[in-house]
Amino acid sequence: MVRVVLLDLGGTLVGPQGPFPHVTDALAALDQLDGATGEPLDTALVSDFPAAVPPTPEGVRERFAEYLALLDGFGLRGSFEPVERRVTLSTHAGVRKPDRRVYELALHRLGTDATLADCLVITEDPAHVAACRALGMRALQFGADFDDWSQVPALVRRLVDPADREGAVFERSLREHGQLAPEGVPLPPGATHEVERDEDGEAVIKRTRFSAY
């Protein structure tokens, strides 16, 4: 079951030009989801970052401050407050991802009793995806399992609840309010979402625009 989503930063949430499209909205949507136990889903950043040299507590604090300055520059720090709880760097653990100790420390900093088996990792790195799955975690690869952050809330809902009861309610609400375009029809005025088919032929609701017109 999924109770915690652990996110990578570079190459996953942000690229050379800054945050990828729809990242901020997707993170806000994830914060509104409940986990498998019905409690709010925890989300956190887990990033490799140049290690503190020497690895003293003060050196680690300086590296953390540098990282937080990057988050501020990307406009993403607010999505991970309080950062002392929801941001973990490899230098905090003294090892780099995908070492299990980095992820275990992230759970400890979150203050959750969730285990690695309760985690979903989202990263662009295929080697990390394979390693995380070997550790018993679920994983989604940006650029392979999805290529647009507007798809992520629905993907996570499916993993949290395979029956996707919340997703069914979401779809019904969109249809009732005229915000979901009929499949195969160009997006009409008032609609913000449309239905696409994934590689398995399953219907996926995708946000196409964030205003009704």
According to the model, what pLDDT value does residue 210 have? 62
Q: Nearest Cα to 14, choosing from 71, 63, 61, 89?
A: 71
Strand, coil or helix: what is 88? strand
Q: Give the type of residue at 124.
A: E
Taking the alpha carbons of 170, 175, 176, 178 in that order, is the dihedral positive or negative? positive
Confidence check: pLDDT of 213 > 60: no
Return the pLDDT at 78. 97
Residue 169: per-residue pLDDT: 55
Between 201 and 210, the higher pLDDT residue: 210
Instruction: Concatenate the DSSP letters of all residues of 34-68 into one string.
Output: B-TTSSBPEEEEEE--PPPSS--HHHHHHHHHHHH
What's residue 203's pLDDT?
A: 59
- Return all residues near 171 (Cβ < 8 A) that are at least 6 apart: 180, 205
* The two three-digit tokens of residue 13, written as one number: 């949430």
Of 49-53, 61-65, 204-208, the one with minimum mean pLDDT is 204-208
Q: Which residue has the higher pLDDT, 178 or 119?
A: 119
**pLDDT per residue over 6-48, tens digit each?**
999 999 999 999 999 999 999 999 999 988 778 899 999 999 9
pLDDT tens digits for range 110-162: 999 999 999 999 999 999 999 999 999 999 999 999 999 999 999 998 888 76
Contacts of 174 (CB under 8 A, 6+ apart): 180, 192, 193, 205
Sign of CA dihedral 151, 161, 102, 135: negative
| Domains, the chain, with CATH or none | 4-162 (3.40.50.1000), 165-213 (no CATH)
Residues of the chain with pLDDT > 70, as a percent, come to 85
- Residue 207: its pLDDT value, please? 75
Give pLDDT, residue 105. Answer: 98
Q: Is residue 126 within 8 Å of 144, Cβ to Cβ?
A: yes
What is residue 191's predicted lDDT score, i.e. its pLDDT?
Answer: 82
pLDDT band at residue 197 under the 50/70/90 scheme: low
Closest CA to 127 of 115, 138, 141, 110: 141
For residue 59, pLDDT over 60 is answered with yes
pLDDT digits (tens, 9 = 90+) for 67-120: 999 999 999 999 999 999 999 999 999 999 999 999 999 999 999 999 999 999
With CA atoms as reference, report the closest residue to 157 among 205, 112, 192.
205
Give the pLDDT confidence score for residue 120 in this predicted structure.
97
Instruction: Say what the pLDDT of residue 126 is.
Output: 96
User: Residue written as tokens 């980095």?
Assistant: 102
